Amino acid sequence: MLFNSSAFFVFLIIVFLAYWKTATYSNKLRKWVLLLASYIFYGWWDWRFLILIIISSVTDFIIGKTLFEKEKKQTRKILLLLSIFINIGILFCFKYFNFFIASFQALTGFDSNHHWSTLQIILPVGISFYTFQTLSYTIDIYRRKIQPTRSALTFFTFVAFFPQLVAGPIERAKRLIPQLEKKPAFSYPQAVSGLKLMVWGLFKKMVIADQLAVLVDAIYAQPNQFNGWEIILGTFLFGYQIYCDFSGYSDIAIGTARLFGVELMTNFKTPYFAHSFRNFWHRWHISLSTWFRDYVYVPLGGNQTSSAVWIKNIFITFVISGLWHGANVTFLLWGAIHAVFYVAEKQVSPALKIPGKIKSSLGWGVTFVLVNFSWIFFRAESWQHLKTLFLALGTNHSTISKTFSQLLFAGENFTPPGRMILFIFPLFLLAELFLKEKNFDQAVFGLKKQVQWGIFYLLVLMILFFGVLNSAPQFIYFQF
């Protein structure tokens, strides 16, 4: 079920009414409503996916409880490894098995008469997200940072909580489980703020991301038909497409959770205003970057080690992060490139004797350009596609290509309402400049009530007139 579909809004109204009605009678019944709704939401794609999420939930609930009770170090390690093996094993089979088989065949030179079998399976939606969420629960119990919940109902709801189930934010048990356990009290201001944040997220998804996708998809579908500057423009627009698509999802998820009295963590903080790569990863997909920091980078030794080992730790963390996004060599390259940028910045930045403001501005410019350059690896569909894109980058024409001109003015998909993105997108960039170091809540909810509601109604109108309403494209991060 997609956030940008009519089915979701009908579903949300029904669940919202049932949730708060049952909350007045029974806290347990309220959680049952939330769990059942979450399973319906997830099973909407394919009910068979529910089997996997239930296996993960049962596994980590039992292991987490047992892990906390055991004192023997060796036993606790075995239990933790069992949780990791089951969760990562499921993720590997569904997401990476074919990739590694194909890579092995390519490296070993197996011919067509000696090929290994691959699995013809569908990647379950959101499996990477809820797998990491359940793993953080058992790891934190192993580290004695949290105690396991005694309620299977609460834990299953924590794993499947539908607003953030499919694409995050990846919540920690320490933050989310206490909110699910306590009996909530309905807050009108919280619900209204949630609705406004949902509308902002839908605007970013349906008006900005989905309209930019028409241009981006056309350029990346036939890169040899466009010149180098147009490939660069397409890559820059993709940077904002994926940002608005994913941060839009996060805003809708956070806003939806507020309707049920739950506060989720902020997942984006205007990342394209980052003045360094380190700062960028403090602003982009925060729930994932902090997960890798706490469960991969720090256990490897972090920066509390020699320079050579630190560089190794950075590369391992970023390459695994790239692989998390998808079973494709292009994602591995994307992760490795960010590691190169991160390490280079760490080595070069201290040596630059430049005044603070100039250094910050220079850092922003370099970060912005290189982050957007790296998206070409992320967006490329294969190694061959990547090579075609770089060959197209090498062409430099002073005039607009005929294909690009036709796309703008005669494209079947780029309709007159869609062309309004050429005017709306610059306005969005100005809005981002206004937000800058603030999130949407801090910036807008500090304004007068009349201004807040004016912005809200304007966003609704723009969604209705200029948003992609008919096809309801899915969110980019659903494929991860």
Instruction: Report, as residue numbers or ranges, the catalytic residues.
Output: 325
**Count of positions (residues) in the chain:** 480
68 contacts: CB under 8 Å, gap ≥ 6: 141, 147, 148
> What is d(CA 480, CA 478) in angstroms, rounded to the nearest whole number?
5
**What is the separation of C-alpha 287 from the centre of its chain, rounded to a whole number of angstroms?**
9
> What is d(CA 1, CA 252) in angstroms, rounded to the nearest whole number?
13
Burial class (CB in 10 A: 0-12, 13-18, 19+), 3: buried
State phi, psi for 73 to the nearest 5 degrees. -60, -45
Q: Which residue shows structure tokens 């060959």?
A: 391
Please list the alpha-helical segments (H only) found in 203-301: 210-221, 228-258, 277-280, 286-292, 298-300
Cβ contact 464:420 at 8 Å: no
Q: How many other β-carbons are positioned within 10 Å of the β-carbon of residue 210?
A: 25
- Calculate the alpha carbon distances from 63 to 112, 285, 418 in Å: 43, 29, 51
